Structure 1
């Protein structure tokens, strides 16, 4: 899980008990931006991976898979 996913969950939980502060709202917006950027980048790489696979360009596919792995959170 990325840090922005964890913070989204924390903020969501806080909002169940009380309204957010202005700072918490800004954090939520930043986390949503980070999540959208992450999702779109991953989708793009997955589509490129499919194209590389369909064209049997295995060097390109390997490079794309490395990019996907770099996007994944480190454990």
Structure 2
């Protein structure tokens, strides 16, 4: 889990107790934007991995697996 996901859960629970402050609402938007980018990046790598598998490009598939591992740890796609 990335820190942004933890903060997103915290803001969700704060919102359950009452309305968010302006600062919390801005932070929520930031977390949602980062989560959307993270999901998009994961899906992009997954789709590329499926293509690599279909064309039996094992080297590319290994590179994509490394990218996905770094993405899951850091939240950013590495520039390999």
TM-score by length of 1: 0.95
Is 1:67 matched up with 2:67? yes
Partner of 2:77: none
Instruction: Give the drift of 1:40.
Output: 0.3
User: Paired residue for 1:30?
Assistant: 30
What is the count of residue pairs matched by the alignment?
A: 74
Q: CA RMSD in A?
A: 0.9
Shift of 1:22: 0.4
Tell me the residue number matched to 1:21: 21
SS of residue paired to 1:73: helix
Match of 1:57 in 2: 57
Normalising to structure 2: TM-score of the pair? Answer: 0.89
CA distance in structure 2 between the partners assigned to 1:71 and 1:13 by the alignment: 26
- Residue deviations 1:1-51 (CA, integer Å, cap 9, x gap): 111110011000001111111000000000000000000000000000000
Distance in 1, Cα, partners of 2:56 & 2:45:
16
Unaligned residue ranges in structure 2 (runs of 5+): 75-80
Report the Cα distance in structure 2 between the residues aligned to 1:60 and 1:66, rounded to whole angstroms: 10
Q: Structure 1: 5+ residue runs without aligned partners?
A: none
